[in-house]
Amino acid sequence: MSQKPRAKPSKVSAAAPSQLPALRDQPTPAPEHRYDKLDRATRAALAQATAGVSPHSIMATWMDWALHLGRSPGRQLELSERAAQNAAKIGEQVRSLAMGEEKPAPFTPRSHDHRFQAESWGRAPFSIWAQSFLAMQDWWDAATDTMPGLAKRDADRARFQVRQALDVVSPSNFPWSNPEIIEKTIETGGRNLIEGAGHFWEDYLQTVTQYRKPPPEGLEIGEDLAATPGEVIFRNELFELIQYAPTTDAVAAEPVLFVPAWIMKYYILDLSPENSMVKYLVDQGFTVFMISWVNPTAEHAEVSLDDYRARGVMAALDRIGEVMPGRKVHANGYCLGGTLLAIAAAVMAREGDDRLASVTLMAAQVDFAEAGELLLFVDDSQVAFVEDLMWLQGYLDRPQMTRTFASIRAEDLIYSRAVRRYFLGKDDLPTDLTVWNNDTTRMPARMHSEYLRSLFLENRLSAGRFAVEGRVVALKDIALPMLAIGTETDHIAPWRSVYKVKLFTDCEVTFVLTRGGHNGGILSEPGHRNRHYRIDRRAPGALYEAPDRWVERVPRQDGSWWPEMARWMRERSSGTAPPPKMGTSLGEAPGEYVHLA
């Protein structure tokens, strides 16, 4: 279907108050004691100095670990034996290298650790240094294993903190102990170090000034990314609603609404044309609507989690109802947007609102008891630290969010990248995914506090203690067909945690487990190499099946799961209809909010 030429999108440098509709009046907070502000200001200053990390949480973790280890002489002997065994293994490797014998290395890196893959790491003395590092890593993994009485969270935190410390001293980080750097320096006559110094200075200035580099040529937002034709048909202070132009002569009678996370911008679902989920569904004959969240500023400090539901999801459904009256909606939520969609669907079920045709949750959790390594950052002390930091700023800033996610895979996202840029002189290869990943957003203070406390810390949603408008919501009230997608190597929303939606609902649930991580598993377009998935339907009211047993029973299928999603929605649609008229346009997609820095 022919489309009119796309005008170049306007650039908006910041979300100034004059550019946004006025926020609604917020409830007056409870009066503070006259010394409360002094306490909060002091704690906020400390939080700034520690980058939002609570010293109390760290000390409590190590105190718990040390006290339990101190009362376990058997564990101490076991660790002493392990240290001696590891030292003996390193000694045997030194001997075999000296004698010219070829023996397999006694220690291997984790599957996601690529620091020692180069062939040159197999030669002495570099192999000895790498193996010594891995031996030390192995010992600490054993030392921070669970013990009777030691809280599992403290054991996991201790292991995480040790891993962070060890990653700092890895031999791969230093030019005199990394053979790849030495070889590159000899090959280029030191030019790699000069270029790396330039990269370091560029990154330093960007960190200090928070300057946002423009996207590389060929990866511009609105031209190359987020480029599916459409119109912005609604805007309020929290989001813009995009309606995408049809490309088929007939469409499914029920439209699709995407509810993306507001931790990042929406166009992970509309990247390049070849891997855009939006474009794929439009070409498959679906009318697609997309929520594009605003990038909050201090003006949004008092916006609540429920504001995102009421003035986000529900407002979008209201507008879709005006454009396509009488049509139910296939709602699709990604990551935190999926959690919000589950809450909204439960509220709608409670209120008898039947505007949804189905619910799809992509890498989204409704239970946070097994929420992966992000739980290592969440306890009362840590949340209070973040709250004080946000109180000072009005939001959680972009670098603070970026550091949290990067630290989970520090060996790759921090140190390996630093080695490539600063010592090997290699620039980052621009891709659509890295452009999106660097286009970070802020979090409103009140919303983020409620999210951390109500969902992550207290797990109220699945426990039946999450209230909306003064009344508890129940996921079991949802009677709609549900599609849930988990990804095999997701460290943000682990698939077994995503799978638990089957534990807290009685509706029809089709579960898909696909290869990849939190983002890569969702971006699994047809034709993507080395992709596979599992899919199985649970009938309404069927007995619960444990996730590991489910994996053993359900066969693996090669290819993309996207056609399964399109087929699933089509089977739950009421037929086809002519494409609907476009809503009143406020501007071409991708709109203004996606450009807010």
Q: Choosing from 257, 281, 335, 363, which is the catalytic residue?
A: 335
Residue 169 vs residue 39, higher pLDDT: 169
User: What is the per-residue pLDDT across 526-566, written as a single tens digit (0 to 9) for each?
Assistant: 998 899 999 999 999 899 999 999 999 999 999 999 999 99
pTM: 0.86
In the numeric block, the tokens 């087929």 are attached to 567
The CATH number assigned to the domain with range 230-397+442-595 reads 3.40.50.1820
- Residues contacting 250, CB < 8 A, separation 6+: 285, 576, 577, 578, 579
Show me where the domains of the chain are located: 55-189, 230-397+442-595
Reduced to 3 states, what is the DSSP secondary structure of residue 534?
Answer: strand
- CA torsion, points 100, 101, 106, 111, in degrees to nearest 10? 80
User: What is the per-residue pLDDT across 20-78, written as a single tens digit (0 to 9) for each?
Assistant: 444 444 444 555 666 777 777 777 777 666 666 778 888 888 999 999 999 999 999 99
- CA torsion, points 177, 179, 184, 189, in degrees to nearest 10? 60
User: What is the per-residue pLDDT across 339-363, written as a single tens digit (0 to 9) for each?
Assistant: 999 999 999 999 999 999 999 999 9
Q: Can you give the pLDDT at residue 399?
A: 63
- Rounded to an integer, the average pLDDT of 244-260 is 97
The DSSP bridge pattern shows strands 288-293 and 256-259 to be parallel
Token reading at 165: 């410390």
> Does the pLDDT of residue 275 top 50, yes or no?
yes
Q: Is 507 a catalytic residue?
A: no
Check if the beta carbon of residue 226 is closer than 8 Å to that of residue 594: yes
Between the alpha carbon of residue 304 and those of residues 88, 136, 294, 393, 442, the distances in Å are 57, 45, 14, 16, 14
Q: Can you give the pLDDT at residue 157?
A: 86
Check if the beta carbon of residue 210 is closer than 8 Å to that of residue 151: no
Residue 324 vs residue 415, higher pLDDT: 324
> Does the pLDDT of residue 212 top 60, yes or no?
yes
- Rounded to an integer, the average pLDDT of 476-496 is 95
Q: Average pLDDT over the chain, rounded to whole?
A: 88
